[in-house]
Amino acid sequence: MQKRDIGKPVFFADMLSSHHGMSTNYLTAKKGFLSWLFTVDHKRIGVMYFVSIALFFLVAGLFALLLRAELMQVRIPNATATSYMISADHYNEAFTFHGAIMVFLVIIPSVPATLGNFLLPLMIGAKDVAFPKLNLISFHLYIVGALFLVYTIAFGGLDTGWTFYTPYSTQTSTSVIAAVFGAFILGFASILTGVNFIVTVHKMRAPGMTWVRMPLFVWAIYATSVIQVLATPVVGVTLILVAIERLLGIGIFDSNLGGDPILFQNFFWFYSHPAVYIMILPGFGIISELVTTHSRKNIFGYKAVAISSIGIAVIGFFVWGHHMFTSGQSALASVFFSLLTYAVAVPTAIKVFSWVATLYKGSISFTTPMCYVFVFLFLFLIGGLTGIFLGALSTDVHLHNTYFVVAHFHYVMMGGTLIAWIGGIYHWWPKITGKKFNQTWGIISSIVVFIGFNLTFFPQFIMGSRGMPRRYYDYLPEYYSFHLLSSIGSFVLAVGLFIVLFNWLHSIFYGENESLANPWKGKSMEWTETAVVPIEHNFEKQPISTHGPYEFDELIKPIKAGGH
Amino acid sequence: MSGTAVQDTTWQGSFWLPQNISPMTGGQDNLFYFIYGLSVFFFIVVVGFMVYFAWKYRKKKEGERTTDIHGNTKLEIIWSVIPAILFIVIFAWGFLDWVKLNQPPQDSLEVKVIGRKWDWLFIDTKSGAETSDLIVPINTPVRLTMVSADVIHGFYVPDFRINRDVLPNQYTVLWFKAEKEGNYPILCTQYCGTKHSQMVRYVRVVSEPEYQKAMLAAQGAGLTPAQLGKKIFEGKGACASCHDVSKSKVRSVGPPLFGMYNEQQSIILANGKNETAKFDDNYIRESILNPNIRIVVGYPSVMPSYQGQFNDKELNALVEYIKSLK
């Protein structure tokens, strides 16, 4: 931090004076648990989301290990619903919790709520989001919604799968009402965050920060927010209708009461397919930041990458029916959904090509974040390519609801979003915590995660295309060797993720203090205009944008007047 | 895993796909391998460039200068248009197969399929025979008209490449033409509760004379009521998937039935009150038609009602069969 001059507002002078030139940053500005719980600082809210989401990631991951442990047991001929280490009912609850927690509490909020909250104002040169109190309310709603889901784990259970398909969900004796109410509240957290970010991007950009000077992460978060605002209300209403049907016996989805179960699937996927893009677009944004910074290159095709985010967000609203090719929906409707599905695949392909092309003639450092970019590109590519099998009408018939689908969405959601998230957390770790982390263990973690991930999920493609259905407690013995490999892989993956966790914890408690405000030599404002750890109101003075976010060549070139 | 046929567990089919017994409906194998080939190609190209660039342009010294490249319109158009064309080809190919999958031939053998927690029932419409495995003659197109008695199930035969949800109160249709004798597993693909993974039955593809014989045997002429009851218990009613009838009285989803007849039983009413009831003819009949009015203590109220699914003759037969379990 530079020495303040006399002309600065009193506000900053107050903060600096008590520390003899050492600035108070957002972490040290206020003390005590309540100062965190009721903060309206977007950075602290982001950190609280991060801690909560990391915790739920651990819980949902442990459920996954339980499932994999059951599936690696040798199959017993003529097995019953209690033949293995856990009963079929407990297995069904375990996969429901794994899915519901991962989707609603981890992946959907992962990037927007943690890095989005922390970085969005910093990247566009604002002192906070547009509605800081609303931001805090979103976090509190998230916690309340999460508590409802935790309640169902402890009391009554939940065995519907995260998809809540009717009429099963209106007939089962488990705690569906508490769970859908929790998801409903989480939906509000998501909508309010979306509204907040949209307004922030429109109204709070620094002078000179034109739309085409925004970092691509901001574009991605913006596109995501639009989907959150438009799609989430639909699932909220749908889940409330399920609760009304259960409580009052009004026939909406249950055909015994005159309802239509396919209607539920239409409503559900009308949200949940766009939700896939809520999950992946912010991951794309992270990759755009990481790949440019660590290869010191401008992004290849800025406009194509930015506009493809919006394209994906818009077309993504019209492909929900590809989850229903075998559901009994009209065969003609399926044809249109298949065609539109391929339309959304094109902008995704463009992004992947652009990232790889960005590496061309770069100066690539093999840092931990960059290693996660390579892992992401490898895994997401497989996830994307296998999606082509599922978008085609006829091949989907054979693969629908098999492990092929399970493997596909894990490659996209975990191999895509969560890998990008981990890479992003590593990348912005010095800015968030003010600490260095251990690069060697960071790189080792990316390698172990990569090996474990592929060992877990690649065999699932093979068993799936050979006919192994998903959500199966028990299975034909011919699939045993695939399940065994997959389970071993899941333990390797768990080891890799625990290395990540320990690496972070080690950095917090024993890590060396970061001395540089811009250790990666980034060009966007969160690096160039803030202290090592940002102060409570982000910037000492209003920053002004004079150049694009990826002009790394200017490190050497003399700075051109008025940007470019 | 339940199921009556002995499954041949040797590796059949190609590496990625199981054997294809119904090529008429299984035409998508070619498309699968077409997409597979393209995927492998693009994967190698993209990962190849990634690895090559990562190595070639690795950082050699601190503060290295990089070239200022913002994009290349020609290249970007090429890599947008080529995937778009390939996607249209794949879509069109999938569409053509889809039309075939949705058009059963006029002369198909008609079979009604009823899915329920957690078993299948097949009714051969020509003979009226009811079976738990789907028995069909070889080289004959078969049209399945499917409906569920409770929640949504999924009817999936990997070896035939057919898969469709089975809905309550609405028919869905599938067809196939099996070209090789054998037993092919039927798997449920729509999650339906406790024994979702264990409602496995088989398509038994047999010769025409064997098919005729099986249908005659399944019609159930000349059975005593208790014998008919046993047949319904294990077949159409799928009672056996939740109730044990062996002497060892194994606890399953529902209470075991061996030696229960005329016993005094502790039961729980719908309003939560406890009561004692005699396990007699009327209690059995009521438990089949309105299972959740009086439940044996310690069991969940998950049994579906069989109202409208059994006629009086069948109900009598079931009562006689349960009576005979001692």
> What ipTM does the predicted assembly reach?
0.87
Smallest Cα–Cα separation from A289: which of A450, A545, A115, A530?
A115
Q: Given an 8 Å threshold on Cβ–Cβ distance, is A92 in contact with B170?
A: no
Residue type, A360: Y
Q: Report whether A333 contacts A387 (CB < 8 A).
A: no
User: pLDDT tens for residues A308-350?
Assistant: 888 888 898 999 999 999 888 888 899 999 999 999 999 999 9
Q: Given an 8 Å threshold on Cβ–Cβ distance, is A466 in contact with B18?
A: yes
User: In this structure, how many other beta carbons lie within 10 angstroms of the beta carbon of residue B41?
Assistant: 11
Q: How close does chain B come to A398, measured CA to CA in Å?
A: 5
From chain A, the residues in CB contact with B194 under 8 A are 81, 88-89, 92
Q: Which two tokens stand for residue A164?
A: 């809540």
Q: Mean pLDDT of all residues in chain B?
A: 87
- State the Cα–Cα distance between residues A102 and A232, nearest whole angstrom: 17
From chain B, the residues in CB contact with A78 under 8 A are 1-2
Q: Given an 8 Å threshold on Cβ–Cβ distance, is A361 in contact with B75?
A: no
Question: Using 50, 70 and 90 to split pLDDT, how confident is the model at B6?
Answer: very low
Q: How close does chain A come to B194, measured CA to CA in Å?
A: 5
Q: Given an 8 Å threshold on Cβ–Cβ distance, is B196 in contact with A473?
A: yes
Among B64, B70, B172, the residue with its CB nearest the CB of A328 is B172
Q: How close does chain A come to B146, measured CA to CA in Å?
A: 11
The CATH number of whichever domain residue A401 belongs to comes to: 1.20.210.10
In a domain? residue A434: yes
Q: Within chain B, which residue ranges are assigned CATH 1.10.760.10?
A: 225-323
Among A80, A301, A363, the residue with its CB nearest the CB of B252 is A80
User: pLDDT tens for residues B247-265?
Assistant: 888 888 888 988 888 888 8
Q: Given an 8 Å threshold on Cβ–Cβ distance, is B13 in contact with A466?
A: yes
Smallest Cα–Cα separation from B53: which of B73, B72, B38, B67?
B67
Among B54, B88, B93, the residue with its CB nearest the CB of A374 is B54
From chain B, the residues in CB contact with A462 under 8 A are 15-16
Task: Using CA atoms of A104, A106, A110, A113 in order, give the dihedral in degrees to the nearest 10.
Answer: 60
User: In this structure, how many other beta carbons lie within 10 angstroms of the beta carbon of residue A285?
Assistant: 30
pLDDT of residue A53: 96
Q: Given an 8 Å threshold on Cβ–Cβ distance, is B161 in contact with A397?
A: yes
- State the Cα–Cα distance between residues A482 and B16, nearest whole angstrom: 12
Q: Domain B109-219: what homologous superfamily? A: Cupredoxins -  blue copper proteins (2.60.40.420)
Q: Given an 8 Å threshold on Cβ–Cβ distance, is B156 in contact with A350?
A: no
pLDDT of residue A22: 52
Low-confidence ranges of chain A (pLDDT < 70): 1-23, 554-564
Tell me how many domains chain A contains: 1
Mean pLDDT, rounded, for B226-230: 85
Which H or E run includes B308?
Answer: none
Phi then psi for residue A311, to 5 deg, are -60, -45
CA atoms within 13 A on the CB side of A130: 14
From chain B, the residues in CB contact with A470 under 8 A are 189
Note the maximum CA span of chain A.
Answer: 83
Look up the domain containing A409 and give its range. Answer: 10-555
In a domain? residue A560: no
Give the three-state DSSP class for B285: helix
Q: Given an 8 Å threshold on Cβ–Cβ distance, is B167 in contact with A345?
A: no
User: pLDDT tens for residues B108-127?
Assistant: 999 999 999 889 999 998 88
From chain A, the residues in CB contact with B58 under 8 A are 363-366
Q: Given an 8 Å threshold on Cβ–Cβ distance, is A401 in contact with B190?
A: yes
Angle among Cα A331, A334, A340 to the nearest 5 degrees reads 155
Q: Given an 8 Å threshold on Cβ–Cβ distance, is A392 in contact with B93?
A: yes
- State the Cα–Cα distance between residues A307 and A281, nearest whole angstrom: 12
Number of cross-chain residue pairs from A and B with Cβ atoms under 8 Å apart: 294
- State the Cα–Cα distance between residues A435 and A433, nearest whole angstrom: 5
Mean pLDDT, rounded, for B83-102: 91
Lowest mean pLDDT among A343-357, A480-494, B197-211, B302-316: B302-316
Question: Using 50, 70 and 90 to split pLDDT, how confident is the model at B4?
Answer: very low
Q: Does domain B225-323 have CATH number 3.60.70.12?
A: no
Between these two residues, B2 and B271, which has the higher pLDDT value?
A: B271
Pick among B89, B162, B190, B246 to test the A interface (most A CBs inside 10 A)? B190
Q: Given an 8 Å threshold on Cβ–Cβ distance, is B165 in contact with A327?
A: yes
pLDDT of residue B221: 59
Four-residue CA torsion sign, A274, A346, A295, B40: positive
Among B150, B156, B194, the residue with its CB nearest the CB of A469 is B156
Q: Given an 8 Å threshold on Cβ–Cβ distance, is A80 in contact with B151?
A: no
Q: Report whether A114 contacts A428 (CB < 8 A).
A: no
Q: Which two tokens stand for residue A284?
A: 């794309």
- State the Cα–Cα distance between residues A226 and A198, nearest whole angstrom: 7
Nearest-Cα residue of chain A relative to residue B100: A394
